[in-house]
Amino acid sequence: MPSADLLIHNIGQLVTCRSTDGRAKHGASMLDASIIGNGAVAIADGKISAVGTLDEVEAEYSSTEKIDAGGKAVTPGFVDPHTHIVYSGDRLGEFELKIRGAEYLEILAAGGGIISTVTNTRAASLHELVDGALKRLDKMLACGTTTAEIKTGYGLDPETELKMLRVIERLDQEHAIDIVPTFLAAHTVPPEFKGNTDGYVDLICGEMLKAAWEWYEASHFLANGTPFFCDVFTEKNAFDRTQTERILGTAKDLGFRIKAHVDQFTNLTGSQLAIETGAVSIDHLDAISDDEIKLLAKSDTIGVVIPTENFSAGKTQFAPARKLIDTGCAVAISTDYNPGSAPCPSQQMAIAIATRYQKLLPSEALNAVTVNAAFAIGLGSSHGSIEVGKQADLLILDCEDYRQIAYEFGGNLVASVIKRGQIVYGSR
């Protein structure tokens, strides 16, 4: 009998989030979390080699190394498909302005918001940025995230955007969390281009995207087969439809895969444009139209909703995630962890909000932070679910029923995090 490196047994509820057709889960299939009772998982070389009931797995593999899950629930490690965790400084003053009634776009137009983080990030050393982001990754890992996308976008000049990319590569080398890089030079217009957005778009489409792609080609990400994304913030006071089209078109021609921040506040038809450009994900979607929802449902693009952003702004309106799923879209959830609109490391918190305000059921929310989130960053065939051949990224929860992670909030129900078959957080 072949031997495994590790056997996890006595899993009361093994929640695999397995996709039955090799695609992200669309529409009603998001209700199915693919649960096995009294389950076990065998792991060899950091990958899952068997999944099933204890009898089934023990018939296939033996292992001297065992973890007793104590009858608790086990889920895939969470995937966070949209974060901005490389930055310096904080936005505590802005938080108070918002409590007093200031709007996010108003603060941005007045030269605050993202721009204040850009000023601090330009001044920070690579080492300082790595240090700050490693601490944020530690918090994410403790909350159950085992894979995350990270964006640039607080540099907004060729030099600092590249510095951010180097930081992201360092994070991937130093931290247990697997990272997917995204180039977001088009996050907003930097002060030196104020009133000349097209001039900045020229710089992005000329020098910046090319330099970013050269960095990727020399990085370990390309060697690993990790994709590289280009993203744009399509919004008032940021980039309009025409500018978005130029940036995404240039990026696609260079080889980038595509994401877009669209419909966060204003519908500039960015969703339609991004879906037609073949975007892997479109993110935010608060102001998406019914026609765009139908277009999304027919596509392979994942709709990423960000309930932490609305919650953080004290809003009671959220992206229409219920309607997206009911129309047949594949929905993922992210924290958007960033210093301005969503200072939140926890996908558990995002699930708690999505279930209450966006009316997702716990199974839909779990699929949205695992298998669908992996598809949203181009890793759907290797990450995001407990399936033979996939990376062994699992959470042992401190509860018998996984629905508890939606029901309880403000704490942490992750007892142990297993990454590539090794315990990287918590106890045995």
Interface with ligand NIG by CB under 6 A: which residues? Answer: 84, 113-114, 117, 233, 261, 264, 309, 336, 338-341
Which helix (H) or strand (E) segment holds residue 271: the answer is helix 270-276
Q: Minimum Å distance from CB 66 to Fe ion?
A: 41
Which helix (H) or strand (E) segment holds residue 73: the answer is strand 73-76
The binder of 243, among ligand NIG, Fe ion, none, by C-beta within 5 to 8 A per type, is: none
CA-CA distance, 330 to 87, in Å (whole number)?
30
Mapped onto helix, strand or coil, the DSSP state of residue 68 is strand
CA-CA distance, 126 to 101, in Å (whole number)?
35
Residue in the structure block whose two tokens are 């302005």:
97
What pairing do the DSSP bridges indicate for beta strands 302-305 and 73-76? unpaired
Please name the residues in contact with 201: beta carbons below 8 A apart, sequence gap of 6 or more: 186, 239, 243, 246, 247
Sheet with 302-305, side-by-side order of all strands: 78-80, 145-151, 178-186, 229-232, 257-262, 281-284, 302-305, 331-333
Which helix (H) or strand (E) segment holds residue 217: the answer is helix 209-218
Q: Minimum Å distance from CB 87 to ligand NIG?
A: 7
Q: Which part of the chain contacts Fe ion (CB under 5 A), choosing from 72-80, 138-146, 162-170, 330-338?
A: 330-338
Q: Which is nearer to ligand NIG, 117 or 226 (CB)?
A: 117
The binder of 264, among ligand NIG, Fe ion, none, by C-beta within 5 to 8 A per type, is: ligand NIG
Are 69 and 11 within 8 A, CB to CB? yes
The binder of 227, among ligand NIG, Fe ion, none, by C-beta within 5 to 8 A per type, is: none
The CA dihedral of 342, 344, 350, 356, to the nearest 10 degrees, is -70
- Structure-token pair, residue 13: 């509820």
CA-CA distance, 1 to 326, in Å (whole number)?
46
Binding to Fe ion by CB under 5 A, coded x per residue (else -) over 334-373, reads: --x-------------------------------------
Q: Which part of the chain contacts Fe ion (CB under 5 A), choosing from 14-22, 123-131, 248-256, 328-336?
A: 328-336
Total length of the chain:
428
Q: Which is nearer to ligand NIG, 260 or 386 (CB)?
A: 260
Q: Which is nearer to ligand NIG, 5 or 336 (CB)?
A: 336
**What is each CA distance from 257 to 104, 186, 406, in whole angstroms?**
28, 15, 32
Distance between first and last Cα of the chain: 26
Binding to Fe ion by CB under 5 A, coded x per residue (else -) over 4-23, reads: --------------------
Q: Minimum Å distance from CB 26 to ligand NIG?
A: 24
Q: Minimum Å distance from CB 283 to Fe ion?
A: 6
- 193 secondary structure, DSSP code: G
The binder of 340, among Fe ion, ligand NIG, none, by C-beta within 5 to 8 A per type, is: ligand NIG
Q: Which is nearer to Fe ion, 11 or 377 (CB)?
A: 377
DSSP strand E in 192-241: where? 229-232
- Structure-token pair, residue 16: 């695999």
Angle between helices 114-123 and 158-174 in degrees, nearest 10: 80
The binder of 117, among Fe ion, ligand NIG, none, by C-beta within 5 to 8 A per type, is: ligand NIG
Q: Which is nearer to ligand NIG, 162 or 262 (CB)?
A: 262
Q: Residue 356 corresponds to which amino acid? A: R
Closest residue to ligand NIG in the complex (CB):
340
Q: Which is nearer to ligand NIG, 229 or 233 (CB)?
A: 233
Q: Which is nearer to Fe ion, 25 or 261 (CB)?
A: 261
Q: Minimum Å distance from CB 117 to ligand NIG?
A: 5
The binder of 98, among Fe ion, ligand NIG, none, by C-beta within 5 to 8 A per type, is: none
Q: Which is nearer to ligand NIG, 40 or 164 (CB)?
A: 164
Q: Which is nearer to ligand NIG, 73 or 248 (CB)?
A: 248
Q: Minimum Å distance from CB 407 to ligand NIG?
A: 27
Q: Which is nearer to ligand NIG, 5 or 283 (CB)?
A: 283
Q: Minimum Å distance from CB 209 to Fe ion?
A: 19
Q: Minimum Å distance from CB 264 to ligand NIG?
A: 5
Which helix (H) or strand (E) segment holds residue 173: the answer is helix 158-174
Residue in the structure block whose two tokens are 């929310």:
365
The binder of 169, among ligand NIG, Fe ion, none, by C-beta within 5 to 8 A per type, is: none
Which residues of the shown chain bind Fe ion in the complex (CB under 5 A)? 336
